[in-house]
Structure 1
Amino acid sequence: MIPFLDLKKINAPFEQEFKNKFDSFLEKGWYVLGEEVQLFEAEYAQYCGTRHCVGTANGLDALRLIFEGCKILEQLQEGDEVLVASNTYIATIIAIKQADLIPVLVEASLLTYNFDFEDLERKITPNTKVILPTHLYGKLTDMERINAFAKAYNLLVITDCAQSHGAKDINGNRSGSLADASAHSFYPTKNLGALGDAGAITTDNEALAQVVKKYRNYGFKERYVAEYAGVNSRLDEIQAAFLRIKLKQLDIQNRRRREIAMKYLSKIHNEHMILPQLNKEENHVWHLFVIRSVYRDQLQTHLQNKGIGTNIHYPVPPHKQEALSEYNMQSFSVCEQLYKEVLSIPLSPALSDVDVEDIITALNSFRC
């Protein structure tokens, strides 16, 4: 059996370091917003190529805190519109709503799975203040085009980098450094995954960094003295320690992901499947390898019978979710097509070459 994702196997190479770090953590007796968080924030900012990193409890909070910080800095106000992908993970949209902003859903491109730029421009209104692209599946969206569009309409650019840790643009700039601010999730399944919930904000904006650093901790400007009515969304000290260990290996693990993806792209040959497109190797870190098939359900059953785990990212589009009922009557034909066809196959640094060949053989043997 080849599981879709084996987190224990992924984390196995780090176990002894984790144990040593946990012993040190217990010995110090400092459990919240200590040295490990400060060190991770400095190291991750340097890795991404930004001046600042602020740790948060999770990726959703990272997005929400960016919005709240921009409101405090009077860059946004309640009721402003945010252009967001119709096929993103629902948390991206929830964060917008929690900040009392209005999500405006944009159709997806059938080629890139990111924004359809023609629909993006159609959705602009006088109330539009933010473009929020998600680097879906680990592939950077066209940030040069996004930033040019934002400049033309005087919009903020905030990116959801939950799936794109380490990806680089054509100029070698990393995901997390290509916008006014970026939100990161370190949920255990991510390329840089914690052993629990964790997130971060990266930005070059000094004022925004200082505001969200206070806002994540009840709005305190000093102990027990609150400047803002903030929240409790602090990166755990122990998760920061574990992330520091794994960050050192992130590029190596991303290279292994690319090796596997290249094998899939060159060796999977089946007329019943559409493989993802690759424009530039470094701009994709293959958080997920997502194929499409009009026979998706039969294909998933076929792979299950071959002992290969799969997943669907995602089975229900945001605009069809009960939680977002105000969007239920909207139609996004490309987005809806994707949700009927997408299937994620195993791709992780823990896969062996034999595993990869077995997956390829199983895919190539599928017949409708």
Structure 2
Amino acid sequence: MTTLVWDYKQEYENEREDILDAVDTVFRSGQLVFGPSVQGFEEEYAAYHGMRHCVSNDNGTNAIVLGLRAIGVKPGDEVITVSNTAAPTVIAIDQIGAIPVFVDINPDDYLMNTDLVEAAITERTTCIVPVHLYGQCVNLEPLKALAAKHNLTIFEDCAQSHGAKQNGVLAGTTGKAAAFSFYPTKVLGAYGDGGATITNDDEVAGNLRRLRYYGMEKQYYVVETPGHNSRLDAVHAEILRRKLTRFDGYLAARRQVAARYYEALADTDLVLPKITEGNDHVYYLYVVRHPKREQILERLLGYDIQLNVSYRWPCHTMTGFAKLGYEKGSLPVTEQLADEIFSLPMYASLDEGTQDKVISALREVLRTL
């Protein structure tokens, strides 16, 4: 059997009875759209973060699209973010007519280099989108200072950082609002697509609720502001409610997997993930680095191990974003890392035997490069 970077089947076996009960609960409720499961999840997810509002929707991309619209980002506004991210971060900015502006990343934690942000601010800049990538947080303190100085809004992309903390503060609770994805691979994942935006701002929350439901609020078919059809299915909401009760266990299991990697690979020439001071890493991905990545990945296939690269193609190099005008070499750290990083298997239900298979094969490949 091929070893993959992520697999949900063991988790499903472990939780099958509860997952099927969640599905049955929704199907018997008579409310497949919105209803008590969606409301319950929103209240519980907001409470987990100590926030006033959680507005769920159909996927993490729309959580950003609706979130940016809800906080007032308009067509033509510039939004500062990074190119080393999943393309949906940038797609969402582009989709509302705003202009993505990229800054480079740190060479050690692969997160936004906040020292470069102020130089990227222009009179058209209205928002900063820090991407809390791979499971740990961008340094938000300098961004808060810049936002106050230049009258900007911080919108956090937390698709990969459920439960991560910086100096004890949960990801998603510092900016004006924050977007989460519940795609199945995520630290908190549904059994299909899902997303949500959290905020303490009542007006933003109201905007979000209208935008996800065609722009309606008080009466069906009465559109107040043209919006989207972007609702979280009740069955996924109910599954997420159940999984939220086990969430701390998922985090502990991921950290245990990471600890075994650190111990087993410390004496190799792989560059292992660095935890930035003050961060509590949740290891959505366990990203390592090596200049001979392609040789390593190719040879691991011989051991029936298939690994991923997040991300092989930085957004500024994609033809879809050529209109932004970034030339090769414009983000040197991002581009170098794109040639060297890859991810080891990482999920809460990863068993030690499978992990040992990966470690053993990787050590052998590295030894014989």
TM-score range, shorter chain: over 0.9
Is 1:300 aligned to residue 301 of structure 2? Answer: no
Q: What is the CA deviation profile of residues 36-76 of structure 1, one whole-angstrom value per residue up to 9, with x for unaligned ones?
A: 100000000011221110001111101111121123xxxx4
Is 1:5 aligned to residue 6 of structure 2? Answer: yes
Residues 165 and 281, structure 2, Cα contact 8 Å, conserved in 1: yes
- Aligned pairs (5 A) from 1:197-236: 197-222=193-218, 223-236=220-233
Residues 135 and 285, structure 2, Cα contact 8 Å, conserved in 1: yes
SS in 1 for 2:343: strand
Aligned-partner Cα distance in 2 for 1:268–1:225: 59
Partner of 1:166: 163
Q: Percent identity?
A: 36
Residues 37 and 235, structure 1, Cα contact 8 Å, conserved in 2: yes
Partner of 1:314: 311
Aligned-partner Cα distance in 2 for 1:133–1:12: 36
Q: What is the CA deviation profile of residues 197-239 of structure 1, one whole-angstrom value per residue up to 9, with x for unaligned ones?
A: 1000001011100111011101112222211111100111111
Partner of 1:276: 273
Partner of 1:127: 124
Residues 320 and 327, structure 1, Cα contact 8 Å, conserved in 2: no
Aligned-partner Cα distance in 2 for 1:328–1:15: 49
- Aligned pairs (5 A) from 1:1-368: 1-71=2-72, 76-170=73-167, 172-222=168-218, 223-269=220-266, 271-279=268-276, 283-327=280-324, 329-330=326-327, 331-365=330-364, 366=366, 367-368=368-369
Aligned-partner Cα distance in 2 for 1:305–1:47: 44
User: Structure 1: which amino acid aligns with 2:324?
Assistant: Y
Aligned-partner Cα distance in 2 for 1:133–1:40: 25
**Structure 2: which 5+ residue stretches go unaligned?**
none
Aligned-partner Cα distance in 1 for 2:172–2:266: 34
Residues 270 and 363, structure 1, Cα contact 8 Å, conserved in 2: no
Provide closer, same or farther for how the CA distance between residues 279 and 67 of structure 1 changes in structure 2, counting only shifts above 3 A.
Answer: closer
Aligned-partner Cα distance in 2 for 1:250–1:11: 15
Residues 114 and 139, structure 2, Cα contact 8 Å, conserved in 1: no
- Output the TM-score relative to the length of structure 2: 0.94
SS in 2 for 1:220: coil
**Structure 1: which 5+ residue stretches go unaligned?**
none
Give the superposition deviation at 1:270: 5.1
> How many aligned positions are there?
363
Aligned-partner Cα distance in 2 for 1:59–1:24: 25
- Output the TM-score relative to the length of structure 1: 0.95
Residues 320 and 328, structure 1, Cα contact 8 Å, conserved in 2: no
Aligned-partner Cα distance in 2 for 1:121–1:45: 31
Consecutive aligned runs of 4 or more in structure 1 exceeding 3 Å deviation: 269-272, 279-282
User: Structure 1: which amino acid aligns with 2:182?
Assistant: F
Residues 131 and 157, structure 2, Cα contact 8 Å, conserved in 1: yes
Give the superposition deviation at 1:10: 2.4
Give the superposition deviation at 1:267: 2.2
Aligned-partner Cα distance in 1 for 2:130–2:279: 18
User: Structure 2: which amino acid aligns with 1:38?
Assistant: Q
User: Structure 2: which amino acid aligns with 1:297?
Assistant: E
Residues 209 and 217, structure 2, Cα contact 8 Å, conserved in 1: no
Provide closer, same or farther for how the CA distance between residues 114 and 282 of structure 1 changes in structure 2, counting only shifts above 3 A.
Answer: closer
Aligned-partner Cα distance in 1 for 2:357–2:277: 27
User: Structure 2: which amino acid aligns with 1:137?
Assistant: Y
Residues 172 and 179, structure 2, Cα contact 8 Å, conserved in 1: yes
Provide closer, same or farther for how the CA distance between residues 214 and 27 of structure 1 changes in structure 2, counting only shifts above 3 A.
Answer: same
User: Which one is further off, 321-330 or 88-97?
Assistant: 321-330
